[in-house]
Structure 1
């Protein structure tokens, strides 16, 4: 059988083709799997820079582009494009081997020659050359082609580098982008180059050794090592093992690409073993969830043959996120028997099951915050203590439950770090009386809160001896978990190698739960990896969204601060658009126009998302769209048309992504939402924490976008937009371009 590789550009372009053309692509390239590729009429291109790049007819108007050596049995599917575009692309490009990673690269030689001539004509800037601090020796060691050094040396700022993004070999652009972001050459070697080298498959006979500073020139891909070079290009090229896998990938190309891994991600996911808890962190779109999914697959593959089903737990914060994880796992692990080794579920549901089985009866859970607040208020009045319901509830959750305090003596000695109102011994005694009254009332009525259930489940497991339910636990969206939930997760698995694998980003913390992993006996020292490249969101959207958090201090869940330094996107696109309106109806009218425009330029309704702060506004959006003939689906609400625009609260949008994203109703008084923010006179520190949670919620919503983002409001805009919107009435100059 021929060795067949699929380049990611091919896959993404295939996803946007019309259905009849997709069917024809499947028919044509399926022949590769049956050794009938010799009759596929791979056509040579006149005056091509690389004679091995051929085209193949798909339809009268569409052609595929293939790297096809004269001999050998390895092929690489590169592009699928309209006829003239395919010919033009094939003429200009050449396939080479990166001097550092030995993986395949595609060079646009014509564009690179023009760019070299163009930058030499640029006037020098006051800041000097962009890479003045990096030697030629380091550049070549990192895989920069020697013939590109003159081009690199003439770049004076990052905008010049960004302009070359589409024509530079992708691996080399990643190297230069890392250096331009301030990373040292050794950091780039470790995070960009070395991770690629470590992905060389065991069956590849040629091992790569790069001598630091060696002068390695551009080398074409040899006919006899194309298969090995493709194997070294994981994250950019997918190797297809058979007809079934080929058809599965083409059946769901967008979804399939989401579970492919960049080398920096693969290094984390497929490390043979960690000696203890391990963690992966990174901003939105860096692939943390994908890494967690692949880690679950790797652990399942390493289980002994007699391991029972559900030996591994893949868990997250909410039921909706668990549902999304389950769907992705089905795509990643089509084998039912192997997938059965992994249980997917949210933490609260698991805790409920453990306690319910111990008690032998269903649990009555109090879920409405209004009901909980009313109970605290009634208790405060009955006891005659001068504390608000909000303060008492937060003290109970953030101090008592967070530290698992079970006596007034323990509470008297407990740290209240992060709580802004100081409490002396007398005040603490009053608070403890209220806590006891609250918990006694719940016991009397046979009711629980979710956090109480988690605490009880952890106690049952800890007192149950050495037997634990799982061999490995993989945790996604870790930043939103409460300490009581963390104690449960710690109790689910025996401490040891590969016990806990944690993925999260504290910039996306939207539920206000802060935790120190170290204080809970979860040490990730020496086993923590940061991902820096965003594969979902364009650089323009990323920069705009990141500016929302400028100046905010974000903890890293381990006693330090988290930073987005060096965080960057893998691609460019249109800048975000902002739009204000005088009324809600005017804002919704502008939204409908934008949705219709995105649809006219080829974006399907289900590829668009609309985020709102509260569900009623989402229903209003759905009504406006449906009146205009646009199908809409409110997530978590009454189901609409399955292929409609996805509308959901900002909380519900967590973990999702869309080609085009609209964030609606970003008004003063809505973001931040008054009811979600503790009054400053009640607890100034909690007030600031709540404001940061609301700001992070907006950040999460905006970073769901892949290609286009529109943020709108009516009346006065949210104060959060002050750093990114220069004037309220900029709506008069806003244009609404489609995605790139």
Structure 2
């Protein structure tokens, strides 16, 4: 049975129709089963540059391009599949295709040839010696950063022609255009160069520090050894079973992340750390991808391991489970917390699972709520309503600016529940680190009166709030651990962790014993759209140097990324370690059209223009389910669904209870869009009344207004970064100040 390696080649895959992809799958399945089967017609080419290249028959009209690597001891050969093309094109491309081991860094590179005229845009520009150019011309971008041709080729290992073109580019867009033509690792290395990253740092990120492959090996052995290099795995992957093969072929470009990881991503997915590890990065940099691969790696490393994979809500958790199953259908998805396998739930469901398995909760209730007379049932408190009711009915004397559901709920979660406060005496003394509003002793007494009223009302209603359930679950686990019982998980992986509050973290910390590979935390503080910021060290989670950052965006175009990042301009963010969070090194690997800003004369005009834009995309053949209209609130979401329907466009409101539906344009709130992506996005209603939200800002105390503004910026940033290809922003009235300009 031949060994099969498949190359990442999105240009080849995207051109194939579905019926042809099925034939490709059948062809490769036959190839891996019996490469000598006569129907495959595996043939060398006499005019080929590389003697290992082969073409093989997929059907009467299509042929595959392969490289055949023979085993020196007569064992089964290794076939590297590069893609499938029309019969005549495949022959011409194969003749010019090359498989080579980079002599500088030992990375395997597969280069498919070009047809006549395909390379016209790749204009060869020879940079004068030492990078000198006439003074009247603009200094090329990389030369201005101090890079030389010798460094790029002899130390990094870039293709000389690619290095020449890169050194001739006058700006970042030029670098991105050149990078798109780079083979495997070379494209991302060029993007790193554009950020000013040093050659040594780029070598480290891409795993290029091992140097050349052993020169004493013969050429085929060197190729097989090079396949194990981290950067080689960006372009090549061994395919171990037919299901994996089908996923790669059917998924094409959009599913490439499942098999082909950047070396830096793979390092974090497969690494090991002596304690909690934190991975940060902007929208679209692959944090979720790494988290999924991390769960997969730990599961394969130890099939008996109990792994918890969790995130902010049930919708995102369902996406994580689907992606994990897609990555490996054979993976064990645990159905019970504490069972071997990967247990995937939103964090509130995770708390409910702890409660369901707990048995006696009296001691935890006394510790958290001050009484064991608590009904821990399925009903949850409507916190906004109860806080509003008790603030109006209780003579607390608290300033009206603080007697709001938002302030009281945050105080209750971040201070009272987080510190297991059950009496006024405890609350009067507890530090309130991180809370924006300082409270005098009389104010604390007033707040405590409302806390007691909230608890009484909830008990009368027979409800618990979600944070109370989290706090009870965390306390039960803490007491259980103190009693010497084993923890319920061996590893915990957390995605979208920037939106978690204190009781979330108490639960996560109590789930797994402190030690090697206990917590893996993925976050982007720029995407914090819920609650107040927390500092992990104050919650018993010590990162101490185990923190890394991803900067390369795989989702959006450079133009869309620039627009999204500009929304954050001038604002100061801090991460979960209370360190400044920057967007300085964020880069995209793709180019596209500039986002369009459309000012409308009135609300009705905006509805018309949004419908016209959507209709234009659909007329161009864009799949409706990949088109999204994002709004600030649910009322506007309903208004645009109705307006699109009245104008003959099938649209559907997307909420937490349903998934994107085929054949419909998706209309959803910006909050709901988190964790999603679409090919085309319209941000609608981006005026000064909707963003920042006037009611939202009015509901928070003045001392917390700055943090609320950061959340509004973050929400718009999240929405803008959902677009893969095209982004349109519309408004009527006065445009939002968050758009700048």
Same fold flag (TM > 0.5): yes
Note the C-alpha offset of 1:570.
Answer: 2.1
Partner SS state of residue 117, structure 1: coil
Note the C-alpha offset of 1:221.
Answer: 11
Contact 2:396/2:450 (CA < 8 Å) preserved in 1?
no
User: Is residue 124 of structure 2 the alignment partner of residue 116 of structure 1?
Assistant: yes
Aligned to 2:439: 423
Partner SS state of residue 542, structure 2: coil
Aligned to 1:133: 146
Partner SS state of residue 667, structure 2: strand
Aligned to 1:104: 108
CA distance in 2, matches of 1:599, 1:64: 33
CA distance in 2, matches of 1:674, 1:364: 34
CA distance in 2, matches of 1:45, 1:575: 44
> 1:347/1:466 Cα in 2 relative to 1: closer, same or farther (>3 Å)?
farther
Give 2:311's match in structure 1, choosing from 300, 316, 321. Answer: 316
CA distance in 2, matches of 1:220, 1:53: 20
User: Is residue 37 of structure 2 the alignment partner of residue 33 of structure 1?
Assistant: no
Give 1:710's match in structure 2, choosing from 713, 718, 728. Answer: 728
CA distance in 1, matches of 2:191, 2:642: 44
Note the C-alpha offset of 1:277.
Answer: 1.1
User: Is residue 299 of structure 2 the alignment partner of residue 300 of structure 1?
Assistant: yes
Partner SS state of residue 79, structure 2: strand
Residue by residue over 1:54-107, the C-alpha shift from the partner in whole angstroms, topping out at 9 and shown as x without a partner, is 555656765544344699823322234556765675566543323444222245
Aligned to 1:671: 691
Aligned to 1:397: 413
> 1:230/1:336 Cα in 2 relative to 1: closer, same or farther (>3 Å)?
closer
Partner SS state of residue 559, structure 2: helix
Give 1:459's match in structure 2, choosing from 457, 472, 475. Answer: 475
Give 2:633's match in structure 1, choosing from 610, 614, 624. Answer: 614
CA distance in 2, matches of 1:418, 1:265: 32
Aligned to 2:6: 6
CA distance in 1, matches of 2:111, 2:354: 57
Q: Which runs of 5+ in 2 are unaligned?
A: 335-339, 362-374
Matches within 5 A, 1:213-612: 222-232=219-229, 233-253=232-252, 256-260=255-259, 261-271=261-271, 273-303=272-302, 311-335=306-330, 337=332, 341-356=341-356, 357-358=358-359, 363-381=377-395, 386=400, 387-390=402-405, 391-464=407-480, 465-467=483-485, 468-612=487-631
CA distance in 2, matches of 1:648, 1:488: 31
TM-score (structure 2 length as normaliser) = 0.85
Residue by residue over 1:327-386, the C-alpha shift from the partner in whole angstroms, topping out at 9 and shown as x without a partner, is 112112312547661111111122223335446865254454541342242245465755
CA distance in 2, matches of 1:610, 1:384: 42
Contact 2:627/2:679 (CA < 8 Å) preserved in 1?
yes
User: Which range moved further: 407-416 or 165-174?
Assistant: 407-416
Contact 1:289/1:476 (CA < 8 Å) preserved in 2?
yes
User: Which range moved further: 660-669 or 475-484?
Assistant: 660-669
Residue by residue over 1:134-186, the C-alpha shift from the partner in whole angstroms, topping out at 9 and shown as x without a partner, is 45664322222456555554444434322312333342232232122022233
Contact 2:93/2:113 (CA < 8 Å) preserved in 1?
no
CA distance in 1, matches of 2:462, 2:381: 14
Partner SS state of residue 9, structure 2: helix
Contact 2:684/2:730 (CA < 8 Å) preserved in 1?
yes
CA distance in 1, matches of 2:722, 2:141: 35
Residue by residue over 1:461-502, the C-alpha shift from the partner in whole angstroms, topping out at 9 and shown as x without a partner, is 111223221121111111100011101110111111111111
User: Is residue 31 of structure 2 the alignment partner of residue 17 of structure 1?
Assistant: no
Contact 2:625/2:661 (CA < 8 Å) preserved in 1?
no
Aligned to 1:700: 718
CA distance in 2, matches of 1:668, 1:629: 30
Give 1:648's match in structure 2, choosing from 650, 658, 668. Answer: 668
Note the C-alpha offset of 1:129.
Answer: 6.0
User: Is residue 157 of structure 2 the alignment partner of residue 143 of structure 1?
Assistant: yes
Note the C-alpha offset of 1:547.
Answer: 1.0
Partner SS state of residue 234, structure 1: helix
Contact 2:284/2:556 (CA < 8 Å) preserved in 1?
yes
User: Which range moved further: 356-365 or 491-500?
Assistant: 356-365
Note the C-alpha offset of 1:222.
Answer: 3.8
User: Which range moved further: 489-498 or 27-36?
Assistant: 27-36
User: Which range moved further: 471-480 or 417-426?
Assistant: 417-426
CA distance in 1, matches of 2:420, 2:717: 32
CA distance in 2, matches of 1:516, 1:670: 30
Aligned to 2:368: none
Note the C-alpha offset of 1:624.
Answer: 4.0
Note the C-alpha offset of 1:281.
Answer: 1.1
User: Which range moved further: 414-423 or 486-495?
Assistant: 414-423
CA distance in 2, matches of 1:446, 1:302: 45
User: Which range moved further: 712-721 or 273-282?
Assistant: 712-721
Q: CA RMSD for the aligned pairs?
A: 3.5
> 1:586/1:222 Cα in 2 relative to 1: closer, same or farther (>3 Å)?
farther
- Equivalenced residue count is 698
CA distance in 2, matches of 1:415, 1:504: 26
TM-score (structure 1 length as normaliser) = 0.85
Aligned to 1:728: none
Residue by residue over 1:636-663, the C-alpha shift from the partner in whole angstroms, topping out at 9 and shown as x without a partner, is 2678854433332211111112222222
Residue by residue over 1:674-714, the C-alpha shift from the partner in whole angstroms, topping out at 9 and shown as x without a partner, is 232245xx633311111111111111112122222222223
CA distance in 2, matches of 1:94, 1:454: 57
CA distance in 2, matches of 1:220, 1:538: 42
User: Which range moved further: 452-461 or 93-102?
Assistant: 93-102
Aligned to 2:81: 77
Contact 1:3/1:73 (CA < 8 Å) preserved in 2?
yes
